[in-house]
Structure 1
Amino acid sequence: MNTPRKFAVLGNPIKHSLSPRLHALFAQQTGLLIEYSKQCVEPAHFCDHVKQFFASGGSGLNITLPFKEQAYALAQSRISNRARAAGSANTLWQENGEIHACNTDGVGLVNDMLRQHIILRDSRVLLIGAGGATRGVMPALLQAGCAHLHIVNRTEEKAHVLAAQAVALADRQTQVTASAFSTLQGSWDIIVNATASSLSGQILPLADSLFRTDSVAYDMLYTTDGDTPFLQQARNAGATHTSDGLGMLVYQGAESFRIWNQIEPDAAPILTALRTELTRSI
């Protein structure tokens, strides 16, 4: 009898996560036998929890809020170029008794935008937030060739710290700026919410003028009961192209699955199936 490989996603909160169902669909598609659970972890116990998971035979972990920077630190020097550029990690595995890390958030976001024919090259991109989620996608957005990347955050100092890191990664043609919400101006081609505001139902302090009718509003989070508050806010301000982060979840998960199992699943039909399941459950 084959023994299933064990995987999990760690976060706090974690109840909303669809990762177990997502990876079950990947396993079904590829013919692999796996077990995948979601585990809520207290911040003080994160490192011990990860070590215990691998010590007990676990094969791989996805990491979500608020642990991506801790996951990066835990892997020390055994990190991928993507994780190093981001300074955070969302995918962990073990080789020869040592924990390794990668960040698949950026490739997940960009691949989902490509699926939706969202043009990143030469676009003006507003990135909301300065935490691990922002760190994860910032290098990929720069690599995709955006013309201007602006980071906005409640604590302005954190936004400027990330902007300085982005300048080091960006092409010389890319403008990188930062601000607090109170001084945010202009209008943007693409506005990406990389904060956890949608989990708490929080409305962000964004002026309607930041959105145009042809602006893309993208929330990296998703809900299981309809639109996120950020997407509702964007539509009320006139944006006509909105997207939650379900596609990003699927594409970043597909890359994690490939890293762990050396098999690349076909993400597009899995996204369709997952979206259909969510629609039926509402």
Structure 2
Amino acid sequence: MMSIDRYAVFGHPINHSQSPFIHRCFAKQTGQTLTYEAIDVPPENFDRALADFLAHKGRGLNCTVPLKELAFQKMDQLTERARFSKAVNTIIVQLDGTLLGDNTDGVGLVTDLVNNHQVTLHNARILILGAGGAARGIIGPIMAQLPASLYIANRTVSKAEKLALEFAQTGSIIGCGFDDLAGFSFDIILNATSASLSNQLPPLPDDLVHSASCCYDLAYANTATAFVKWAKAQGAAQCLDGLGMLVEQAAEAFYQWRQIRPDTQKVIAQLEAKRKIG
């Protein structure tokens, strides 16, 4: 009997994950036969869980919080964007059994902004809030769009400055603290902090937003995050969350595994309908 290709997402916690629904939709619309499940994997169990998955004919994995940096360390090969981000969210099991690590977060974000919401990154003044793994994963693809400038603001200023220096070869990047943003406004503000997970907001000064600004929270929820609420109160033209990014990064992972690109619009619409009902 022919074995069915097996895929999964590792994370901790993972019960909230929409990835199984997304990839099952992709498989159905593209006529691919596969399974995809969510597996709760605490960081201390990552090595064992990965070995077990591979031993049971696993063909590919997604890794989410807090496992992306661990996955990065375990790869035999890395794509350029994974090397840049020092984090892996997509693992491709190659024909010879070796593991290729990729990071599809940044391309997922850029695709959602540019294709789905018609946001222009070229020549834009962009601000990233936060200097952790989420920020690291999106800087390379953003800089490839040739913005006018990129600021990275973080509570610990040295982390923002270090990240800016690390990516300095890609263009004009400035690392700073939240207080240093006073008096500046931005065309695009991206919240890459974990504050939304606890319904909190970074300590942001007034006047960051102008009437044509786009504010985008990398997190997503069934209701507006604290950052999206703040953006609306500030009068931003577009106040978005990361649901589209989630689907677009999944589509890029699916393409890397199956060499066929699914239609993301239908899946985004289904998820939007689900959370309106919820």
| Cα distance in 2 between the residues matched to 1:211 and 1:265 | 35
* Counterpart code for 2:64: T
* Counterpart code for 2:180: T
* Residues 94-243 of structure 1: pairs in structure 2 closer than 5 A: 94-95=93-94, 96-114=96-114, 115-170=116-171, 175-185=172-182, 186-223=184-221, 225-243=222-240
Q: What count of residue pairs does the alignment treat as equivalent?
A: 275
Q: What's 2:6 paired with?
A: 6
Runs of 5+ unmatched residues, structure 1 = none
| Cα distance in 2 between the residues matched to 1:9 and 1:119 | 31
User: After the TM superposition, which of the residue ranges 7-16 and 20-29 deviates more from structure 2?
Assistant: 7-16
- The offset of 1:135, in angstroms, is 1.2
| Cα distance in 2 between the residues matched to 1:13 and 1:199 | 12
Q: What's 1:256 paired with?
A: 253
Runs of 5+ unmatched residues, structure 2 = none
Q: What's 1:63 paired with?
A: 63
Q: With structure 1 as the length reference, what TM-score do the two structures score?
A: 0.93
Contact 1:3 1:33 in 2 (8 A): no
Contact 1:127 1:134 in 2 (8 A): yes
Q: What's 2:87 paired with?
A: 88
- The offset of 1:15, in angstroms, is 2.4
Q: With structure 2 as the length reference, what TM-score do the two structures score?
A: 0.94
- Can you list the C-alpha shifts for 1:120-161, whole angstroms capped at 9, x where unaligned? 000010011112211111000000111110111122111111
Q: What's 2:26 paired with?
A: 26
- The offset of 1:206, in angstroms, is 1.0
Aligned residues with identical type, % of pairs:
40
| Cα distance in 2 between the residues matched to 1:244 and 1:41 | 26
- The offset of 1:2, in angstroms, is 4.9
| Cα distance in 1 between the residues matched to 2:275 and 2:36 | 19
RMSD (Å), alpha carbons: 1.5
